Structure 1
């Protein structure tokens, strides 16, 4: 299987200030090594502060590791992003409140040399019926669907999603994952971080579990479900911490 994402001994430290005698650092990631093949659907799991968002930022080229090597489709993350091979849905930011949904998509589409048609993107993100709504009038879930639409414009080979269904009600979450299943069927590689373990249980082929910056498990979801009654139980056992919200 061709490799979409490759990390080799990746660590990331953030300066947290200094005491009288020495500088203090926070270890966000600690010696993480993994490979994700083209076409895989991978869930990134961990408690708040486990390092999930830092790992995603590194994969997107938004920050650089303190040590280690990162490649996305054989090049640096920034090169892959500039080549429109990567689309991302992050938790917040990046939207202009006074623009309408369709106007936002058209504006961002104008920055691409060969974007997907706006009508297709609206349909795939389930936004056609609210295309004239201003961003500031959208719910949190609707804004996440807009971010998803923007991520699709470049027809990416890799979708990286950081808590993509945050703010969505259960019905909206189900509709979102139905669309993501169609993206997977088109051949997209999908990596998503989530606190809703049922999403990972129902959609992911493989689970990465981060705990205090360390990759403590990299296992097929089916294998975890053979050993544990649910991902919620697997998570709480492997992390030795309270379970996440497993609602769907």
Structure 2
């Protein structure tokens, strides 16, 4: 039975090993209703293992995984979840409309076919055989199958891989609509701009451990880097040796600088090159935070 204060999905001190390899090491993760949680990490960081535990596809060696307050393998829990994984195993001979009708039949109050078509962008595809679709079209069908049951919690594993920009933005709009309705979404993605666009919170994994967690702004704030770009004749190798400068590279006429503080570096740039122009300073993005925090974690492990 579902507990009153159950959250859509949770890992408590979850651990998982594959032989001598530690895939997850004491991971805590909580997904709340009406939010998108982006689970980030390089290949092998533990993202797929975490998702597998939450779906009941894997059993933890330590800790606990719950889905809608229940054991993930419970039928009631699975009926409240929608899943879009990287590998689908969908019969290629069935038509898209047949797949939708079949999947909708598993749920007590599914979305209408028209709603699924609109949310996933399946116009003109219902009569097509799944195996005859392009890779991007198949991903859109997989998304429709994941959302057709009105899931309370939705797992999206690299959902926009293989999609063009227009299809990707359609998926983003659909995710926002589902979240506005109260669904909880766990998103894994290699597209950090996707996490920045959609996520309310971010959890970063490195070698099976959480290295950062919080809002996009909070995680980004952990990296105090500033990126400076300008058109200048200054030598990049010389600038790279300045205090507070982490790196300096040249891209044609532009000088690209990563620094821990912008003000002193910009002042020195202007003093060194009065003809400097097209100056741009911006905060570290999520991609910068991901790379820096991963580097710090590897250094600590070493």
TM-score for the superposition, normalised by structure 2: 0.72
Quick one: which of 132, 136, 142 aligns to 1:137? 132
CA shift in 2, pair 1:64/1:202, >3 Å: same
Match of 1:167 in 2: 162
Encode CA deviations 1:169-218: one digit per residue, 9 max, x unaligned: 22211111011111111111111000000000111011110001111111
Of residues 110-119 and 130-139 in structure 1, the stretch that sits farther from structure 2 once superposed is 110-119
The 2-side partners of 1:163 and 1:141 are apart by 12
2:292 & 2:78 partners in 1: Cα distance? 40
5+ residue gaps, structure 1, are 16-24, 242-248
Q: Tell me: CA distance 1:82–1:137, structure 2 relative to 1, closer, same or farther (3 Å).
A: same
Aligned to 2:91: 96
Q: 1:227 offset after TM fit, Å?
A: 4.9
Contact 1:42 1:204 in 2 (8 A): yes
Cα distance between partner residues in 2 of 1:33 and 1:52: 13
User: Could you tell me how far 1:80 is from its partner in structure 2?
Assistant: 6.2
What displacement does 1:226 show?
A: 4.2
How many pairs align? 232
Q: Does 1 or 2 have the higher relative contact order (CA < 8 Å, sep 6+)?
A: 1
Aligned position for 2:18: 14
CA distance in 1, matches of 2:220, 2:212: 14
Q: Structure 1 36/168 Cα, relative in aligned 2: closer, same or farther at 3 Å?
A: same
Is 1:81–1:87's contact at 8 Å kept on the other side of the alignment? no
Secondary structure of the residue aligned to 2:128 is: coil
Where does 1:29-178 land on structure 2 (aligned, <5 Å)? 29-79=24-74, 82-178=77-173
**Distance in 1 of aligned mates of 2:169 and 2:293:** 27
Structure 2 residue runs without a partner (length 5+): 224-283, 297-302
CA–CA distance in 1 between the matches of 2:13 and 2:78?
25
Are 2:270 and 1:231 aligned?
A: no
Q: 1:25-45 CA deviation, whole Å, 9 max, x = no partner? A: 211111111222222211010
Cα separation, 1, equivalents of 2:173 and 2:85: 19
CA RMSD of aligned residues (A): 1.8
Query: Secondary structure at 1:130's aligned position in 2?
Result: coil
Query: Counterpart of 2:167 in 1: which secondary structure?
Result: helix
User: Could you list the per-position Cα deviations for residues 44-85 of structure 1 after superposition, in whole angstroms to 9, with x for gaps in the alignment?
Assistant: 100011110111011111111111111122111122665521
Aligned to 1:33, the other structure's residue is in SS state strand
Contact 2:37 2:201 in 1 (8 A): yes
Q: Distance in 1 between matches of 2:177 and 2:156?
A: 15
Structure exhibiting the larger radius of gyration computed from Cα positions? 2
TM-score (norm 1): 0.87
